Amino acid sequence: MAFFTTKGRTFEVSVVISNKPGVREPEGETILHDLVAKSGFEQVESIRAGKYLRVKVVAPDPASAKKLVEKMCNELRIFNPAAHSCEVSIGRVPGQ
């Protein structure tokens, strides 16, 4: 009897956690006011710091990889929904 499994490929998924609009983000403010604006980059209007996770995940396709990471972020509260937004996006796709 034929037995066939597909483990899939390894995809890189990016997770960016940042304070929601309207929630003060003092680290970005400090980078802007005490470094960037004082160093001749007056065109820079706003900086928001956050947290970045680069996740490698085995999945059959990019959409499934993204869905799995979204599920992980929600179930494990990788972000705090009261204050943070969480953006999940597909990074490097193998073979492309």
Spatial distance between the Cα atoms of 19 and 82, rounded to a whole number of angstroms: 9
- Listed in sequence order, the residues at least 6 apart from 58 whose beta carbon sits closer than 8 Å to its beta carbon are 7, 8, 9, 10, 11
Binding test (CB under 8 A) with another protein, winner from 24, 39, 43, 45: 24
Q: Please count the CA atoms within 13 angstroms of the CA of 19 that sit on its side-chain side.
A: 12
Binding of residue 46 to another protein (CB under 8 A): no
Q: Which range in 2-10, 37-45, 63-71, 80-88 contacts another protein by CB under 8 A? A: 80-88
Contact between 67 and another protein per CB under 8 A: no
User: Any idea which residue has 């009897």 for tokens?
Assistant: 1
CB of 18 to another protein, least distance (A): 12
Interface with another protein, residue 77, by CB under 8 A: yes
DSSP for residue 83: T
Q: How many residues bind another protein (CB under 8 A)?
A: 15
Enumerate the β-bridge partners of residue 52.
Answer: 16
Residue 26 interacting with another protein (CB under 8 A): yes
Residue ranges binding another protein (CB under 8 A): 19-20, 23-24, 26-27, 30, 51, 76-78, 80, 82-84
